[in-house]
Structure 1
Amino acid sequence: MGFAEDHLIPLVDEGLGNSAYLVDLGDGRALAVDAARDLRALHTAAARRGLRVAFAADTHLHADFLSGAVQLAHDHGASVLASAAGRRAFPHTPLGDADEVDLGGLMLRALATPGHTDEHLSFLLLDGTRELGVFTGGSLIVDSAARTDLLGADRTEELARAQYRSLRHLATLPDEVAVWPTHGAGSFCSAPPGAERTSTIGAQKRTNPLLAAPDEDAFARDLVASLGSYPAYFDRLTEVNRRGPAVLAAAPPLPGLDVRQVEALLEGGGQVVDVRPAADYAAGHVPGAVSIPLRDQFATWLGWLLPGDTPLVFVTAQGQDTGEIVWPAYKIGYERLAGHLTGGMPAWTAAGRPVATTAFVPAGRAPRGPYIDVRQHAEYAAGHVPGALNLELGDLAGHAADAPAGAVVACGHGERAMTAASLLERAGRTDVTVLAGGPAGYAAAHNLRLDHGPEGDAA
């Protein structure tokens, strides 16, 4: 058929920091690689070109999202291509190292690249004998490699050494071969994340510091040292992907609920999640509600902070699309979505129910005193307010007692800090102030110089 550049359609998930790929095979059929359960963008791209997805390839058993391969098999009749070592419990074509699949003009060759997971495959796309590009999943990623600690601390170094050998193997491909990773900037599967989404083998040999490691020991040491925390839900999804996510017959609903229905759900152990902007939450919210503003990172923090088996009720602002709640939640396996409060906070207030508020102030009005930085440790090390206590948002619920009285809670802009304040409120700590801004603005307002490095009060 001849492969043109526009035959490859990257589908970027900015929130999870991942890329899926749709490959136009030139005859009305397509290959999808590492598609997530939220298939809206993929279906749109396929429909625009009049394509049916004939093949759905997964590079590994994903931990950060539910695979869309089973759904594509249902919707399009796609053949699922995946590692035989993954022992998937649904119909698929099991592949091992060097196995090839004829796509009808193009060929897909499996390359065993363990490291991120035991059963990881990369997929080399060939046009005749010409090696076009390689879908590297969670193996070689732009200027880095994916993390190797998802199978437990006791396996981390072993898998890092496997990752070293996998990257060295991929580096033997011709320099002009394109590198199409799944994980990238913003993905907690990256270690650490880079800014670019795609590259070439030659470029990675020049710029990837892990490929420049002099030996396996140095590589493993550098990779393991770069690993930060990751969302709690990662520990659950691999097995769901092995069994195969349930097929969805239609878009999941999010029904409207009146005030009394919401109260009944709360009495039964449900949880309110307020997805409005941070400033709206601060001005008035349902007591005990967790603030997770509806933005690209919504799914990450939903999965990190709330259990997957709790009924969830959402408070929205006027004009917010409930589909942007439902699909990100289902993408990470959160399906107990009870509904949303009809009429939002105005309905709650009109019904005479109690309303809580949170102080949310710009740097110039923020008090000088204890400062809690809820960013990731790497962000903290890059520049923080002197004396700041670093309590990562993902760990905060377990450390609420460590929060000093009257503290300023801050992140980079204010969204994560408001989430942190909502968690502290649930723990009975209602005396905090949330900074609308980040450390640089606070330091400037209080004539301070930012500290750098991990030393200090990181916890």
Structure 2
Amino acid sequence: MGFPDEHLIPLVDEGLGNSAYLVDLGDGRALAVDASRDLRALRAAVARRGLTVAYAADTHLHADFLSGAVQLGHDHGATVLASAAGGRAFAHRGLVDGDEVDLGGLTLRALATPGHTDEHLSFLLLDGGRELGVFTGGSLLVRSAARTDLLGADRTEELARAQFRSLHRLAALPDDTAVWPTHGAGSFCSAPQGAERTTTIGAEKRANPLLAAPDEGAFVRRLVAGLGTYPAYFDRLAEANRRGPAVVVGTPPLPELTAGRVRALVAEGGVVVDVRPAAEYAAGHIPGSVSIPLRGQFATWLGWLVPDTVPLAFVTADGQSVSELVWQAYKIGYERLAGRLAGGMPAWLADGGPQATTAFVAPDRAGGRAYTDVRQEAEFAGGHVPGAVHIELGDLAHRAADAPRGTLVACGHGERAMTAASLLERAGHTDLAVLAGGPADYAAAQGTRLVEGAEDSRA
């Protein structure tokens, strides 16, 4: 018999592919596990139940989001629970392997599970001596385990071997023990695609290909072979979390900027980020602006493609949520938000500002150009247009010269391709077109078939 569902509230960030958890302890208090700095969903859940967050547990120094633990300590007086080995520079209760925390009827036991990071802890939730579930963070995931290359290529194999031992330690728990990972589908911490966010020890012993590896060497080869690229901002956030993110009161403001102020910011080295839908950007945009449509994946691509060291000005569409934009930026440590263009593109044009356009073409009108695919390696290998040039979007700013001139830029639907086109335009490319659709749409319209594999995949 597992933990009652009504007492465990998963809080899923679909964009980053992560889950935080809120545990209702039954006495008006709650435990939060791996909460991000964007606490809007957690605050709503707490308010609905009339809870106070008494404990905020972090499994590791997250690379893909800023922790909300410091904020919960400020707002609720929560005790922050984290690895003593993490060297955190703020008030917390440092835990080592085997330490237990009395939650008032339930117990939380720290399990050292290094691999994803050195200081990684899993947290086993106990009712007396019975294992209810384990918060596995970036250790055991649904059908996978988190990547081991975040501390550098020279540590990847060593940490993969540690991950092997950690997964087998967790696999020794009873089969009916619930597994509550932080990283899930959509995370660049190597979680596979799929709808399941939670699992059980027994299910993973039956179906996790890493646990099926016959020995440690095979496990390491299998894990490392599946590592793809990851966003550039991952390299910055572990240290930011060690120091502790600044406390934020309310939603940070996003001031309105005149067209003249936007021009001045660009002259001073700032970047204009256009968050409107791809079709609106294509129809007319500020030359040199970066297109990153405001959607679930906005934070990922902002953190991958735009520096956090320069002021950012935004172009928004009518009806887009300013608070959503701000919190997606803040949860990955982007705080130099200068503001947004007041009145949008009409105000820019009325002030005499120049405008650029980008062709956004349907699959049946997209032939006759070189085809540049900016999806991830695994996506490309799963099926691509014959003869396509492959450059991952995350690499494009450094490889713009490898893209054919006048190319058709494509991804899965069009959003990433529009971002790619904006980067190519900043690098001096002209006469670009973006595919409104994906490779299957293009192949059907052009009377060809997709091919699989990575051969001939790079420029």
* Counterpart in the other structure of 1:174: 174
What is the CA distance between 1:457 and its match in structure 2? Answer: 2.8
**Does the residue aligned with 2:309 lie in a helix, a strand or coil?**
coil
* Counterpart in the other structure of 2:264: 264
CA shift digits 1:289-312 (9 cap, x unpaired): 000000000000000000001100
Q: Which runs of 5+ in 2 are unaligned?
A: none
Q: Distance in 1 between matches of 2:457 and 2:87?
A: 45
What is the CA distance between 1:185 and its match in structure 2? Answer: 0.3
CA shift digits 1:211-243 (9 cap, x unpaired): 100000000000000000000000000000001
**Does the residue aligned with 1:242 lie in a helix, a strand or coil?**
helix
Q: Is the 8 A contact 1:137 1:183 kept in 2?
A: yes
What is the CA distance between 1:3 and its match in structure 2? Answer: 5.1
Identity %: 77
Q: Distance in 1 between matches of 2:171 and 2:60?
A: 20
* Counterpart in the other structure of 2:340: 340
Q: Does 1:249 find its partner at 2:238?
A: no
Q: Distance in 1 between matches of 2:114 and 2:394?
A: 28
**Does the residue aligned with 1:116 lie in a helix, a strand or coil?**
coil
**Does the residue aligned with 2:163 lie in a helix, a strand or coil?**
helix
**Does the residue aligned with 1:353 lie in a helix, a strand or coil?**
coil
* Counterpart in the other structure of 1:325: 325
**Does the residue aligned with 1:189 lie in a helix, a strand or coil?**
coil
**Does the residue aligned with 1:229 lie in a helix, a strand or coil?**
coil
Letter in 2 for 1:444: A
Q: Distance in 2 between matches of 1:294 and 1:82?
A: 33
CA shift digits 1:167-195 (9 cap, x unpaired): 00000000000000000000001244443
**Does the residue aligned with 2:399 lie in a helix, a strand or coil?**
helix
Letter in 2 for 1:145: A
What is the CA distance between 1:4 and its match in structure 2? Answer: 2.4
* Counterpart in the other structure of 1:284: 284
* Counterpart in the other structure of 2:371: 371
* Counterpart in the other structure of 1:233: 233
Q: Distance in 2 between matches of 1:217 and 1:251?
A: 48
**Does the residue aligned with 2:397 lie in a helix, a strand or coil?**
helix
* Counterpart in the other structure of 2:274: 274
Q: Distance in 2 between matches of 1:79 and 1:286?
A: 47
Q: Is the 8 A contact 2:124 2:131 kept in 1?
A: yes
Letter in 1 for 2:402: D
* Counterpart in the other structure of 2:81: 81
Task: After TM superposition, list the pairs within 5 Å mapping 1:16-95 onto structure 2.
Answer: 16-95=16-95
CA shift digits 1:141-165 (9 cap, x unpaired): 0000000000000000110010000
**Does the residue aligned with 2:242 lie in a helix, a strand or coil?**
helix
**Does the residue aligned with 1:281 lie in a helix, a strand or coil?**
helix
Letter in 1 for 2:171: A
Which ranges of 4 or more aligned residues in structure 1 deviate by more than 6 Å?
none
* Counterpart in the other structure of 1:418: 418
Letter in 2 for 1:42: L
**Does the residue aligned with 1:81 lie in a helix, a strand or coil?**
strand
* Counterpart in the other structure of 1:145: 145
Q: Distance in 2 between matches of 1:94 and 1:270?
A: 40
Q: Is the 8 A contact 2:274 2:292 kept in 1?
A: yes
Q: Distance in 2 between matches of 1:192 and 1:202?
A: 18
How many matched pairs?
458
Letter in 1 for 2:224: V
Q: Is the 8 A contact 2:190 2:226 kept in 1?
A: no
Letter in 2 for 1:107: T
Letter in 2 for 1:62: H
**Does the residue aligned with 2:434 lie in a helix, a strand or coil?**
strand
CA shift digits 1:102-140 (9 cap, x unpaired): 001110000000000000000000111111000000000
* Counterpart in the other structure of 1:316: 316
Q: Distance in 2 between matches of 1:373 and 1:167?
A: 36
What is the CA distance between 1:353 and its match in structure 2? Answer: 1.1
Q: Is the 8 A contact 1:34 1:137 kept in 2?
A: yes
Q: Distance in 1 between matches of 2:249 and 2:175?
A: 44
Q: Distance in 2 between matches of 1:323 and 1:249?
A: 13
Letter in 1 for 2:245: P
Q: Distance in 2 between matches of 1:71 and 1:317?
A: 31
When normalised by structure 1's length, the TM-score is 0.99
Aligned Cα root-mean-square deviation (Å): 1.0
Task: After TM superposition, list the pairs within 5 Å mapping 1:93-132 onto structure 2.
Answer: 93-132=93-132
What is the CA distance between 1:367 and its match in structure 2? Answer: 2.4
Q: Distance in 2 between matches of 1:433 and 1:373?
A: 12
When normalised by structure 2's length, the TM-score is 0.99
Letter in 2 for 1:189: C
Q: Is the 8 A contact 1:146 1:191 kept in 2?
A: yes
Q: Is the 8 A contact 1:187 1:193 kept in 2?
A: no
Query: Which moved further from structure 2: 224-233 or 347-356?
Result: 347-356
CA shift digits 1:45-104 (9 cap, x unpaired): 001000000000000000000000000000000000000111111111110111100001
* Counterpart in the other structure of 2:224: 224
Query: Which moved further from structure 2: 106-115 or 190-199?
Result: 190-199
**Does the residue aligned with 1:190 lie in a helix, a strand or coil?**
coil
Q: Is the 8 A contact 2:3 2:133 kept in 1?
A: no
CA shift digits 1:318-377 (9 cap, x unpaired): 000111110010000000000000000011111121100000001001122311000000
CA shift digits 1:11-56 (9 cap, x unpaired): 0000000000000000000000000000010010001000000000
* Counterpart in the other structure of 1:453: 453
